[in-house]
């Protein structure tokens, strides 16, 4: 057992959910500490009915810590996680900084849990939120019919841009309804009553950093560099939960009935697929839940071995906090 545990970024949007999950899921430990930036140092939080003081994130804060779950910006992960591993701490990292390092496993427990034991650098990465829900849904199809190509368009909630993104939606919506001017904190254009077809910085061939995560992380997690991915990432005026329209092309044809069966048997997936009765996943009903929800399953009209479906998942939970806690639970059950 990892007796001494730390939560890094404990006061952030994902960090607070991690604390809630550790408490509700009765994660085992002997001691626990909560670390955050100097700005949050000294704050008091409640955990398991007790008051805890937030400690400043410093290299020495990891002394004696066996396992840390970290939710920080990339530059913080770059600077502090090596300091943690030097002190013998195994780190589950939510940032994007270490994901594509060949010596850092990129883990979704339902998909490739055993990779967590290959943490040569003492770091295990949790994937990008949009990648996680995509791969959980695609995994059973790939195992059965070998996925050759994925076309995915994401409809990403403002919570994925942090608290400032949420404020931009809420305050911008009020301003728009009152016909008042509003200057966004984080988005380049108003997100209220709008869609922004760029998330992340511009990278190769006109794709953005967020879109390329869907390509490279999917390949790494599934262990198949032959999978082709064409991604488009869009920010939408939704408070929480990312949605995805997915089209997969497979070597072996997968019928709608078989796909529904494969999805239903996949750990962590809930099927909501009854379009006739208007039953399908929506952010409104999926927020606050830990599963990946799949619906609108249908055959591709343009390609014999194509299958289309709709995926929704809470980006702060399964897309971030829940996945990290599940990795920690797997490690506790299966040894170091």
Q: Which residues are marked as active site?
A: 129, 242
| 232 DSSP assignment | E
Spatial CB neighbours of 303, under 8 Å, sequence gap ≥ 6: 249
Angstrom distance (rounded) from CA 276 to CA 198: 33
Q: Give the residue from 41, 126, 121 showing the smallest Cα distance to 84.
A: 121
Dihedral angle, C-alpha 124, 72, 246, 238, nearest 10 °? 150
b (16+ CB within 10 A) / e for 311-324? bbbbbbbbbbbbbb
d(CA 44, CA 39): 13
Residue 187 exposure: Cα atoms within 13 Å on the Cβ side: 33
306 alpha-carbon distance from chain centroid: 26
DSSP string, 110-162: HHHGGGGGG-TTSEEEPPPHHHHHHHHHHHHHHHHH-EEEEEEEEEE-GGGG-
Instruction: For residue 48, give both structure tokens.
Output: 């398991």
Q: Which of 34, 28, 56, 57 is nearest to 46 (CA)?
A: 34
CA proximity to 54, closest of 63, 62, 46, 43: 43
């Amino acid at each position: 057992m990892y007796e001494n545990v730390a939560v890094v970024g404990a006061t952030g949007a994902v960090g607070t959910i991690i604390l809630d999950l550790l408490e509700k899921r009765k994660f085992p430990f002997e001691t626990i500490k909560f670390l955050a930036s100097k700005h949050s140092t000294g704050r008091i939080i409640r955990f398991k009915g007790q008051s805890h003081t937030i400690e400043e994130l410093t290299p020495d804060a990891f002394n004696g810590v066996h396992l840390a779950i970290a939710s920080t910006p990339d530059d913080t992960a770059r600077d502090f996680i090596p300091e943690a591993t030097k002190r013998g701490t195994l780190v589950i990292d939510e940032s994007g900084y270490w994901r594509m390092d060949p010596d850092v496993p990129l883990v979704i427990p339902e998909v490739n849990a055993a990779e967590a034991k290959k943490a040569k650098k003492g770091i295990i990465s949790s994937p990008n939120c949009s990648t996680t829900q995509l791969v959980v849904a695609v995994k059973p199809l790939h195992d059965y019919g070998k996925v050759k190509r994925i076309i995915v368009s994401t409809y990403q909630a403002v919570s994925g841009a942090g608290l400032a993104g949420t404020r931009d939606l809420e305050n911008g919506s009020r301003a728009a309804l009152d016909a008042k001017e509003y200057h966004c904190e984080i988005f380049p254009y108003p997100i209220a009553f709008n869609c922004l077809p760029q998330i992340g910085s511009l990278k190769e061939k006109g794709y953005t950093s967020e879109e390329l995560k869907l390509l490279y992380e999917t390949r790494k997690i599934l262990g198949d560099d032959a999978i082709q991915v064409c991604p488009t990432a869009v920010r939408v005026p939704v408070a929480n939960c990312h949605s995805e329209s997915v089209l997969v092309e497979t070597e072996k044809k997968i019928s709608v009935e078989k796909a529904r069966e494969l999805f239903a048997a996949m750990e962590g997936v809930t099927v909501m697929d009854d379009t006739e009765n208007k039953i399908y996943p929506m952010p409104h009903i999926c927020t606050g839940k830990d599963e990946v929800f799949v619906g609108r399953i249908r055959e591709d009209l343009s390609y014999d071995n194509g299958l289309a479906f709709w995926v929704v998942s809470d980006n702060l939970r399964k897309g971030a906090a829940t996945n990290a806690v599940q990795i920690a639970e797997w490690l506790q059950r299966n040894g170091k």
